A = this chain, B = another copy of it.
Amino acid sequence: MISKFIFQLIILLLYTRTCVNALWPLPQYWVKGSKTLSISPDFSIKQTSETRSILNSHTKEILKSAEDRLLNLLTSEQYVSPNVKSIFPKSIDKSNTLCFLKISIATNVSELDLGIDESYELIIPDSKNDDYQLTAYLKAQTVFGVLHGFNSFSQLLYYNRSKLLLPFAPHDIKDFPRFSHRGLLLDTSRNYFPINDILTTLNIMSWNKFNVFHWHITDSPSWPVVSEVYPELSNKGSYDPKYMIYTKDDIKKVIEYAKFRGIRIIPEFDMPGHTHSIAESMPEIMTCINKQPNWTTFANEPPSGQLNPALPETYTFLHKLLPELTSYFVDKYYHSGGDEVNLNCWNSTPSINEYLSQNPGFSIETLLAKFINETHGIVRKSKKIPIVWQEMVVDHKLPLNNDTIIQVWTTKEITKEVVSKGYRVITGSSDFWYLDCGHGAWLGNDVNGNSWCDPYKTWQKIYSYNPIDGLTDEETKLVLGGEVHLWTEQTDPTNLENLLWPRASAAAEVLWSGPYDTSKKIRTPDKDALARLTDWRFRMVDRGVNAIPLQPLWCARTGMCDVLNPK
C-alpha cells in the first residue's frame, strides 16, 4: 500500500514538474530562478536618459502607448492559471517587490519593415544590488523590440491572494525572432468583419508576437474597399455600401493601430481570378460572370468571374485603380494575388479568343504574363514590391522580377522548388496552417461533403509544421517566414476568435522561436508546449478572448491526459 502510494506520488511529480510559468512564444534564451517577486502598487516604467535623447516624438508616442497598455494590464489583469499554482509563497518580503522596469532603446527606428531588429533583452533580478529599489531592465535595438519585451513581461505575472506576483525570478531573457515575416491572413471578402474585429485581432496578434497582418481584402463574393476613383466598386460590390465597407480612413486607422503594436499591414487585392465582385459594377471588363449552376468549370468556388485580360479597358481600370489602392497602404510590400486563375474561363471567352487570333504569338499564358507585368509595373511605380501566390511561378512559370516574394500555400516540395529558383518565400502549408479546414461542406445540399483541406488542423498539427523542412542552409535563408490562413467561407464575427485562438498561437511559436527546439529537434506538442499553451490560452481568455479550450480542465490542471503512443 505504501509503495503504491509512493509510486503514485512519483507519477504525480513527474507529471506536474512542467507546471512552471509560461512564455508563449518561447524565448530563444531564458534562464530563470525560484524566487517569487511581487509587483509594487507603485510600479512604474522609466526610460534611460540616453533613450529619451535618441527617440523622436513619433517613436516616443509608440513607446508611451505601449507603456500605458502594460500598466493598464497590470491593474486590470487578475490572472490565475489552472496549472501554475501552489508555487507561490504566502508572504513576500519587501525587498522582493519589483518597483521599476527600466527601458533602454539603442536606435530611433520608427518605421516597420521586413527584417528590422525586433530583439530584446529582459533582465529581472531577484534582489537589489544596491540601495535603490528593485528594478528590471528591458533593452532593445528598436522600440518594436520593446513591444515584444513588454508582452513577455506581462506573461510572467500571476495573480494570487490579491497580489500580482512574478514567480521564478531572477529571469534572464535574450530573445529575437527566428523568422522576420510572421503573419496571419484574414479573408474579409467571403464574410465581412467590422473594423473593431480587425483591431481586436491585431491586438491579440501582438501578444503572440505576430508582425504581419495579411489582409486578403477583396475576393469574388464581395469588394468592401471604398475607391474614390471607382466608387461603384464598393457601392455595388460590397455586402452593404454603408455598413460593410472599409474606407480610406478605416484602413488608415487599422494601419496605425497595427503599427503601434509592431504589426505591418500587407493588403492583397487578389487578381485576375477571384474577382467576381468587380462584375457587380464593371461587368464589361469581366468574363465568366457567375456561371450557374455549372460554376465548377469556371472557378474553384462560386461565384465565378475573372478580369478579362484581352480588353484595353481592363488595363485602363488597373492603371486608374491600383495607384489609388496602393496609396492607402504604407508597407513596402503589396500582395497582387494570382492564385487559382481559371484558364478554362479565359479559353471559353469569345473576346479573348478573338484577341488571340488577331495577335499571333500570344497564348492564354502570355496573356496572363502580360496582365501580371502590367499589374506589377503599376505596383512598382508606387514604390512597392509585389508578393504573389505560388501558381505564378510554379504553374505558369512567369519570369517575375527576382525581388518578388512568392507565397507558398501547398507542400514543402513547392517551397524547395521556389527557393531553388532564387525567390524569397513566405510559407504556410494548407496541410498544417489553414485554420478553416475540417468544418465540412459549406456548399448547399451536400450531405456527406467535407472541406477540401480536411481534417481540422489541431494545435498539435499546427505546432509540428516546419517551414524550412528539407531545405539546405542556403535555401533556408530565402524563407522569410510564414502565415496562418483564415479563409472565411464558414467564418464571420460570430466565430472569428474561436477559429483563430489559441491555434494561431501554435504557429506564432514556430515562427518566433523556430521550428527546432534547443536540442535541434523539430518542435512536437510535448508536455512543456501543452502546459505553456494551456496557460497562455487561459490568460488570453482572462483578457477577454474567446480562445477555445484544448482539454477538459482536469487535464489542463494535471497534465495527465497524454496518449501513450502518439501517431
User: Using an 8 Å CB-CB cutoff, how does the interface string of A524-567 with B read, 1 for contact, 0 for none?
Assistant: 11110010000000000100001111111111001111111011
In the complex, whether A464 has a CB less than 8 A from a CB of chain B is yes
Closest to A289 in B: B8
B562 x A443 contact (CB < 8 A): yes
Minimum CB distance partner of A541 in chain B:
B494
Q: How many copies does the complex hold?
A: 2
| Interface status of A260 (Cβ within 8 A of chain B) | no
Most chain B beta-carbon neighbours within 10 Å: one of A290, A455, A567: A455
Contact A554–B303 (Cβ < 8 Å) = yes
Within 8 A of B (CB), among A234-262: 239
Consensus secondary structure, chain A interface: loop
User: Across the interface, do A458 and B464 meet the contact criterion of CB distance under 8 Å?
Assistant: no
Query: A287 at the A/B interface (Cβ < 8 Å)?
Result: no
The answer to whether A549 and B293 have CB atoms under 8 Å apart is: no
- Judge whether A461 is part of the interface by a CB distance below 8 angstroms: yes
| Given A293-B564, A294-B564, A551 contacting B440 (CB threshold 8 A) | no
Complex partner residue of A455 from B294, B438, B445, B553, CB under 8 angstroms: B438
* B458-A494 in contact (CB<8A): no
**Does B447 lie within 8 Å of A566, measured CB to CB?**
yes
Q: Is A20 an interface residue (CB 8 A)?
A: no
**A296 contacts chain B at the CB level, 8 A cutoff:** yes
Distance, CA A302 to CA B556, complexed state (A): 12
A548 with B293, Cβ < 8 A, contacts A445-B524, A445-B527, A446-B566 known:
no
Asked if A555 meets B302 with Cβ closer than 8 Å, knowing A563-B441, A566-B449, the reply is: yes
A191 contacts B552, CB within 8 Å? yes
Whether A438 pairs with B441 at a CB distance below 8 angstroms is no
Residues on B with C-beta less than 8 A from A302 are 554-555, 560-561
Chain B residues, Cβ within 8 Å of A546: 494-495
> Which of A316-324, A339-347, A485-493 forms part of the interface with chain B?
A485-493
State whether B524 touches A567 (Cβ < 8 A).
no
The answer to whether B290 touches A562, judged by C-beta atoms less than 8 angstroms apart, is no
CB atoms of A549 and B492 under 8 A apart: yes
Contact yes or no, A550 B490, CB < 8 A: yes
Q: What chain B residues lie within 8 Å of A561 (beta carbons)?
A: 302, 442-444
User: Looking at the complex, which one of B294, B438, B559, B562 makes contact with A439 (CB distance below 8 Å)?
Assistant: B438
Set B8, B448, B460: member contacting A446, Cβ < 8 A:
B460
Could you show 7 A-B contacts with beta carbons less than 8 Å apart? A222-B553, A296-B564, A302-B554, A446-B460, A454-B455, A491-B548, A494-B549
Contacts from A to B (Cβ < 8 Å): 8, 11, 15, 190-192, 220-222, 239, 290, 292-294, 296, 302-303, 438-450, 454-458, 460-461, 463-464, 488-492, 494-495, 497-498, 524-527, 530, 541, 546-555, 558-564, 566-567
